[in-house]
């Protein structure tokens, strides 16, 4: 007769192989609500599959060629798709009642962020909607940023009582916008004055300026919901905000890649791209996440942990007072010490269940857990990508 451990491992491996067939019809968010006993083991196999197949693989290579090109050439015009905005916003709708929303990296004439909030103005109960763009006076999806000024708009919704789709086209054609004195840079004095009026900032900021952009939001104590790359977690500033619970990952994207519209001049040298019937270019970018400080109930759902600790499966780091947990799904339920986990742990992070203590690969954030001088996470002489050092706040929750 097989032992419980052998049976559990067998079920887990079997579910891991079968999960691709279930993926299209199963919503993991709702599985977590009803899973019991052996289902927890099966879920482990499913999460193994998500981590190894759906995410972008080795995190050291996560920032794919599209993002490298954007950083080198400061080509940050990745336009977010409307469907991705709608899916994420579904988790926060009540929080926008009577709020002023700022989209400060968005030309109202082409931005899907402005389109979404304009068409949802009354259903969300917004107070005001503000949009600004950068160095663009012409209604073109992809500006060359050659203008010395830019347009902006402050909309209060008083010209209509319902949200009608046709209203957007009429609004744009009526040229309901003004011209800024400067170029629309979010760091400029007049754009900061608009930021001060806002309650919540929602946009896709330039990837190359992500740290500086978030720093400004933190400085002015603004609520925000913005698009970024998961590797931003490794930035020293961003990790500090995450550790202090001033920023966390959003609700709707936990793996895979997302499609963005790009300028005609953008080089299509990656595997994930397409050109639509109108000649518009789209690329797929790996590691995309929403970053926010808006709370949502799913964030407080405990991660099911089923593994048992053994020194063989969870070896100690050569240079940290912690053990290595190579996959979030394998966090042991009977280990109360410090553990190093991949940065994608934040996709499933429950602040009521775990505390984030430090981050490897950075002396500044390694804290007292580092042994020696090299902050790189090392196990048996092998160097690893960034790890988050975590500890359980309370006994693991069994579903």
Q: Give the lowest-confidence range in 132-146, 221-235, 306-320.
A: 132-146
What span, in angstroms and rounded, lies between the C-alpha atoms of 282 and 77? Answer: 11
With respect to residue 279, please indicate whether it lies within any of the assigned structural domains: yes
Query: Are 204 and 352 in a shared domain?
Result: no
Strands 339-342 and 323-324: parallel
Query: Are 171 and 308 in a shared domain?
Result: no
With respect to residue 106, please indicate whether it lies within any of the assigned structural domains: yes
Buried/exposed code over 174-201 (b: 16+ C-beta within 10 A; e: otherwise): eeebeebeebbbbebeebeebbeebbbb
169 is written with which tokens?
């086209």
With respect to residue 253, please indicate whether it lies within any of the assigned structural domains: yes
With respect to residue 184, please indicate whether it lies within any of the assigned structural domains: yes
Q: Of all helices (H) and strands (E), which one includes residue 84?
A: helix 82-89
Query: Are 116 and 186 in a shared domain?
Result: yes
The stretch 253-268 carries a mean pLDDT of 70
With respect to residue 72, please indicate whether it lies within any of the assigned structural domains: yes
Domain stops at, among 255, 282, 298:
298
Query: Are 249 and 390 in a shared domain?
Result: no
pLDDT digits (tens, 9 = 90+) for 118-132: 999 999 999 999 999
Query: Are 272 and 152 in a shared domain?
Result: yes
Q: Give the lowest-confidence range in 40-49, 149-158, 257-266.
A: 40-49
Q: Give the lowest-confidence range in 6-20, 36-50, 83-97, 259-273.
A: 36-50
The stretch 257-285 carries a mean pLDDT of 70
Q: Give the lowest-confidence range in 57-71, 253-267, 281-295.
A: 57-71
Domain stops at, among 273, 298, 323:
298
Instruction: Look up the domain containing 19 and give its range.
Output: 1-54
Query: Are 98 and 163 in a shared domain?
Result: yes
Give the count of domains, the chain: 3
Phi-psi region of 47 (alpha: psi -120 to 50; beta: other; left: phi over 0): alpha
What span, in angstroms and rounded, lies between the C-alpha atoms of 349 and 303? Answer: 7
Query: Are 352 and 268 in a shared domain?
Result: no
With respect to residue 59, please indicate whether it lies within any of the assigned structural domains: no
What span, in angstroms and rounded, lies between the C-alpha atoms of 181 and 151? Answer: 9
Is residue 154 classed exposed, middle or buried when 0-12, 13-18 and 19+ CB atoms within 10 A define those classes?
Answer: middle
Identify the CATH number of the domain in which residue 274 sits.
3.40.50
Query: Are 262 and 319 in a shared domain?
Result: no
Can you give the pLDDT at residue 322? 97
Closest residue by Cα to residue 306 from 53, 19, 1, 15: 15
- Angle between the N-to-C axes of helices 39-49 and 4-22, in degrees from 0 to 180, rounded to the nearest 10: 50
pLDDT digits (tens, 9 = 90+) for 7-47: 444 444 444 334 333 433 334 433 333 333 333 333 333 43
Query: Are 223 and 101 in a shared domain?
Result: yes
With respect to residue 321, please indicate whether it lies within any of the assigned structural domains: yes
Q: Is the pLDDT of residue 175 over 90?
A: no
Query: Are 170 and 192 in a shared domain?
Result: yes
| Under 8 Å between Cβ of 289 and 253 | yes
Query: Are 225 and 245 in a shared domain?
Result: yes
pTM for the full predicted model: 0.76
Domain stops at, among 269, 298, 327:
298
Query: Are 43 and 160 in a shared domain?
Result: no
Q: Is the pLDDT of residue 197 over 90?
A: yes
With respect to residue 385, please indicate whether it lies within any of the assigned structural domains: yes
pLDDT digits (tens, 9 = 90+) for 98-120: 999 999 988 888 889 999 999 99
Higher pLDDT, 195 or 65: 195
pLDDT digits (tens, 9 = 90+) for 339-395: 999 999 999 999 999 999 999 999 999 999 999 999 999 999 999 999 999 999 965
The per-residue pLDDT of the chain, averaged, comes to 79
């Amino acid at each position: 007769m097989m032992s419980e451990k052998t049976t559990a491992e067998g079920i887990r491996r079997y579910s891991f192989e079968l999960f691709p067939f279930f993926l299209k019809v199963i919503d993991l968010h709702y599985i977590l609500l009803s899973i019991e006993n052996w289902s927890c083991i099966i879920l482990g196999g499913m999460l193994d599959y998500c981590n190894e197949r759906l995410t972008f693989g080795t995190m050291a290579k996560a920032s794919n060629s599209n993002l490298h090109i954007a950083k080198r050439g400061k080509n940050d015009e990745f336009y977010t798709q409307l469907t991705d905005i709608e899916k994420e916003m579904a988790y926060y709708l009540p929080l926008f009642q009577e709020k002023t929303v700022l989209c400060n990296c968005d030309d109202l004439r082409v931005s899907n962020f402005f389109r979404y909030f304009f068409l949802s103005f009354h259903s969300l109960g917004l107070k005001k909607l503000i949009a600004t763009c950068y160095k663009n006076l012409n209604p073109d999806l992809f500006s060359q940023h050659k203008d010395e000024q830019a347009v902006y708009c402050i909309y209060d919704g008083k010209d209509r009582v319902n949200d009608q789709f046709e209203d957007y086209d009429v609004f744009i054609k009526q040229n309901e916008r003004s011209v800024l004195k400067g170029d629309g840079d979010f760091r400029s004095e007049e754009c900061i004055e608009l930021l001060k009026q806002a309650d919540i900032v929602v946009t896709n900021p330039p990837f190359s300026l992500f740290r500086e952009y978030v720093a400004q939001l933190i400085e002015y104590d603004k609520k925000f919901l913005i698009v970024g790359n998961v590797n931003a977690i490794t930035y020293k500033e961003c990790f500090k905000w995450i550790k202090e619970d001033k920023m966390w990952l959003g609700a709707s994207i936990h793996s895979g890649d997302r499609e963005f519209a790009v300028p005609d001049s953008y080089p299509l040298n990656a595997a994930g791209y397409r050109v639509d019937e109108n000649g518009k270019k789209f690329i797929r970018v790996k590691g995309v996440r929403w970053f926010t400080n808006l709370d949502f109930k799913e964030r407080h759902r405990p991660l099911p942990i089923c593994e048992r600790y053994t020194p063989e499966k969870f070896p100690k780091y050569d240079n940290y007072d912690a053990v290595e947990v190579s996959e979030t799904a394998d966090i042991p339920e009977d280990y109360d010490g410090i553990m190093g986990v991949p940065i994608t742990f934040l996709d499933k992070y429950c602040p009521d269940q775990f505390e984030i203590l430090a981050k490897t690969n950075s002396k500044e954030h390694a804290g007292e857990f580092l042994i020696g001088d090299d902050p790189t996470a090392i196990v048996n002489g092998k160097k690893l990508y960034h790890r988050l050092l975590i500890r359980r706040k309370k006994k693991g929750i069994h579903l």
